[in-house]
Structure 1
Amino acid sequence: MKTIFITVLLAMSSWFSSCKETEVLDDQQVQQPQKELVISAEKLTTIQAAGLRELAISNGQRDLAAMVKYDVDVYRLVYLTQYNGQEVRASGLMVVPLNLTAPAPILSAHHGTTFDQKYAPSNFQINSFTGFEAFGAAGYLTLVPDYLGYGESKQILHPYYDVKHSGLAVVDMIKAGKEYFQKNSIKASDQLFLAGYSEGGYVTLAAQKEIEENPGHGLTVAASGAGAGGYDLEGMLARVVSGQSYDYPANLAFILQAYNKTYNWNRLLTDFFQEPYATRIQELIDGTRTSSSINSALAKDPAKLFNPAFLAGLKGDGEVALKQALKTNSLKNFVPKSPTRLYHGTADTMVPFVNSQVTFDAMKAAGAPNLTFIPVKGGTHFSSLEPMIKNLIPWVEGIRSL
């Protein structure tokens, strides 16, 4: 049996959440009417702290066991957010610690790239731990957004690596969570923590950007931890056009499909991909398959995967709309104001280490006041999450106690 700690790590990497709202106008805060965002909150189960603690101890995780203090209720939260300017329903998992004696901080936790719909966090299976329960049992009001394209919004193609939709889906769930807590006399503190890995790292910074650049949300980030996200999308493009083989072509197919749909380009997939891959992609990315099964069915050589004319356009002056979209959705030019830590394994081949290094350098050069970059020496995309969590938890706990 896996330890609950390892379960937390796997959940974040492979699945890998009411206040006063104000808007700043001419240096004056103007009260904004608050729109109700909660559609429903379905209680799925109650998990006893004793069981989580015993599981951790039996598997040698005594430090984690010491953090587990509360029984938790687990909910499926359905809330309102925006997709291309239209109001839509979205969903996520909510974990609420019971019998709190003081207001609890909120933790929004963000999962990594998910191809299979069944792994959306809100598709919680009774008698099966997701890993996120441990954060609730440690005393955090824990919110885990599915993101658009999963759960309640599965009819939408997930807007993969889209900064605005990524940020809003998180922010609206946080606001919905706060609305639920207020209406149900669950005391939340003013502290809000953000954390995520892989795509979840990107989503973490996207949410932080949305909060920090839009005071009207009425939210403040206490601290943010982001691991191995593809923040520099232009840099990722440069890697593709360099001709290097890439072992995770499913990610490339996903982002092109997502942008084609999100921005209403409505281009044929044969514009982007050679056959038989254009047809295969339509069949493979259907919400029922794992990333490994998709990767194994696609060419890893960009020259074989992509339409030659498309690849030539990427290398030259063509594909202007795509290049602009990648620039718009890159986060290396975001300047975080809140305490922020970036993590990345130096041996990561899925999202190369240089992606975070370039992002960190750009943020620091632009004056980010409280930003730290923590390389995980020798860490791969899959092995670097555990060191990140081991560093992140005591840091967050230290800020929580202030």
Structure 2
Amino acid sequence: MKKHLHYAFCILTLLIVATGCKKNRDTETIDIGKDAFVSATSLANLTKLQLQAAATLKGFSAYAALVQYDVDFYQITYKTTYKGNKINASGLLCIPKGMTSSPALLSAQHGTMFSDADAPSNFPNSFTGFELFASTGFITVIPDFVGYGVSKDIVHPYYDMQTSALAVTDMLQAVKYYLKDKNIAFSNKLFLVGYSEGGYVTMAAQKEIETNTTDNLTLTAAAEGAGGYDVTGMLAKVATVTTYPDPSFFALFMQAYNTTYNYNRPLTDFFTQPAATNIPSLLDGSKNSDQINAALPATLPALFNPTFYAALSNPTAETAFKAQVAANSFPNWYPVSPTRLYHGTADQNVYFETSQSTFNKFKAAGSSQLTLIPIPNGTHETSVTPMMVDALQWFKGF
């Protein structure tokens, strides 16, 4: 009898310890999110039919047949970190209605934007296309990123790995707290997806989740498209060409690095006149990429200061800048979660070689669940839809 009582006592003790551990972990997750969460504001409630119509109207007709659910939309304001300080950031939360099972969480990262009006949290006046993922059965989170939405007065830290990552993970924590607080069910699966700058931000968030256990986030799978992850390789290629379809990207990139890393150099160090003088007003959030491109020189030798342009291909020049670029190119890490890299082979905005070099580096380092999916003859614009359709079906397989 004593033996049986001792056995029962041991089992009871283990159950209590296990339950206590689970409770502590859940409590930690809620506490992290509670600290991050600021507010939620209802923006819209759209039906399946309205979303199907929006998909067709906005050029996402390939998704229309996949739309299944009505969706509630909210602006989420949350705390994140920029240059070591806590700030308010924002994004869009999309919650499908009428599902019979608990939906997975999906964080979708948008491409490069210039106009404040395009921030995802300005929905329904703005539309990224990622909103449609919610209507296919995912609770979808779309961060504005620092520099847009409620943080629009900050210069967007373009291709800064750490700030990019935290904008995603902090919003996910805030959203998880909000969903728990409102008793909205969700599963333990988490997916990340993004294209162009969003592909880079997605990879940055993946690295943060996989390497920082204090986040209490577990990634199920990630899909990253045309993200220019090898920033060093991207700039090396730029040094060998004279034309580029979107000079606005480089205006944003150099202004971001100059501000984020406190270089505070005159823009004439990087650009010719009058571009150097005009760039701050071109990037004030009132203009889109087409307007900015039209106001900048059409060729790179005419855009860049000749000394700086020559320095891009000189290993001994601009060493501090290049070291920062290298630090943002995912050194000493590789993805361990199931990951797909997508890239159009005819992309002239973000070169296909940057995905190939990243894939090769990660595979050589030991990444065993990584796949590179070339999109034959795909440009930066035409590769978005085939990637998203494939990634969506892939996610649903989990």
Partner SS, residue 90 of structure 2: strand
Partner SS, residue 134 of structure 1: helix
* Native 8 Å contact 1:332 1:363 kept in 2: no
One-letter code aligned to 1:344: H
Q: Deviations over 1:36-75 (max 9, x none)?
A: 211110001111124435777999x998556433221100
Q: Deviations over 1:293-337 (max 9, x none)?
A: 212222243322222232343333121111011101113753001
Matches within 5 A, 1:229-244: 229-244=227-242
Following the alignment from structure 1 to structure 2, what is the Cα–Cα distance between the partners of residues 50 and 272? 49
Partner SS, residue 162 of structure 2: helix
Following the alignment from structure 2 to structure 1, what is the Cα–Cα distance between the partners of residues 30 and 76? 24
Match of 1:264 among 259, 262, 265: 262
Partner SS, residue 91 of structure 1: strand
Change (3 A) 1:269 1:371: same
Match of 1:132 among 130, 142, 159: 130
Following the alignment from structure 1 to structure 2, what is the Cα–Cα distance between the partners of residues 288 and 270? 23
Q: Deviations over 1:250-303 (max 9, x none)?
A: 111111100110011111111111111101212211111111221222224332
Matches within 5 A, 1:74-153: 74-125=73-124, 130-153=128-151
Q: Deviations over 1:87-125 (max 9, x none)?
A: 000000100112333221001001000011100000113
Residue 380 of structure 1 corresponds to 379
Residue 166 of structure 1 corresponds to 164
* Native 8 Å contact 1:159 1:258 kept in 2: yes
Q: Does 1:389 align with 2:391?
A: no
Following the alignment from structure 1 to structure 2, what is the Cα–Cα distance between the partners of residues 31 and 43? 24
Partner SS, residue 111 of structure 2: coil
Match of 1:282 among 271, 280, 283: 280
Q: Aligned Cα RMSD in Å?
A: 2.5
Matches within 5 A, 1:3-402: 34=32, 35-53=34-52, 64=63, 67-125=66-124, 130-316=128-314, 317-331=316-330, 334-399=333-398
Following the alignment from structure 1 to structure 2, what is the Cα–Cα distance between the partners of residues 58 and 315? 44
* Native 8 Å contact 1:232 1:332 kept in 2: no
Change (3 A) 1:124 1:183: same
Structure of greater Rg? 2
Following the alignment from structure 1 to structure 2, what is the Cα–Cα distance between the partners of residues 342 and 255? 23
* Native 8 Å contact 1:333 1:363 kept in 2: no
Q: Deviations over 1:12-56 (max 9, x none)?
A: xxxxxxx9897xxxxxxx999635211110001111124435777
Following the alignment from structure 1 to structure 2, what is the Cα–Cα distance between the partners of residues 189 and 91? 23
Partner SS, residue 79 of structure 1: strand
Give the Å deviation of 1:229: 0.8
Following the alignment from structure 2 to structure 1, what is the Cα–Cα distance between the partners of residues 165 and 128? 23
Partner SS, residue 311 of structure 2: helix
* Native 8 Å contact 1:124 1:130 kept in 2: no
Partner SS, residue 191 of structure 2: strand
* Native 8 Å contact 2:193 2:222 kept in 1: yes
Change (3 A) 1:87 1:129: closer
Following the alignment from structure 2 to structure 1, what is the Cα–Cα distance between the partners of residues 24 and 209? 12
Change (3 A) 1:129 1:292: closer
Give the Å deviation of 1:241: 2.2
Partner SS, residue 88 of structure 1: strand
Following the alignment from structure 1 to structure 2, what is the Cα–Cα distance between the partners of residues 295 and 348? 18
Following the alignment from structure 2 to structure 1, what is the Cα–Cα distance between the partners of residues 269 and 23? 47
* Native 8 Å contact 1:110 1:195 kept in 2: yes
Following the alignment from structure 1 to structure 2, what is the Cα–Cα distance between the partners of residues 31 and 40? 18
Q: Deviations over 1:153-212 (max 9, x none)?
A: 001000001100100000001111101000000111110000011101111101001110
Give the Å deviation of 1:373: 0.5
* Native 8 Å contact 2:30 2:176 kept in 1: no
Following the alignment from structure 1 to structure 2, what is the Cα–Cα distance between the partners of residues 43 and 390? 28
One-letter code aligned to 1:121: P
Q: Percent identical across equivalent pairs? A: 48
Change (3 A) 1:21 1:175: farther
* Native 8 Å contact 1:231 1:356 kept in 2: yes
**Count of aligned pairs between the two proteins:** 373
Following the alignment from structure 1 to structure 2, what is the Cα–Cα distance between the partners of residues 169 and 280? 29
Partner SS, residue 189 of structure 2: strand
* Native 8 Å contact 2:247 2:298 kept in 1: yes
Following the alignment from structure 1 to structure 2, what is the Cα–Cα distance between the partners of residues 286 and 264? 19
Change (3 A) 1:346 1:333: farther
Change (3 A) 1:150 1:20: farther
* Native 8 Å contact 1:231 1:332 kept in 2: no
Partner SS, residue 157 of structure 1: coil
One-letter code aligned to 2:197: E
Moved more, 96-105 or 211-220: 96-105
One-letter code aligned to 2:75: R
Change (3 A) 1:149 1:62: closer
Change (3 A) 1:236 1:174: same
* Native 8 Å contact 1:103 1:189 kept in 2: yes
Partner SS, residue 99 of structure 1: coil
One-letter code aligned to 1:118: A
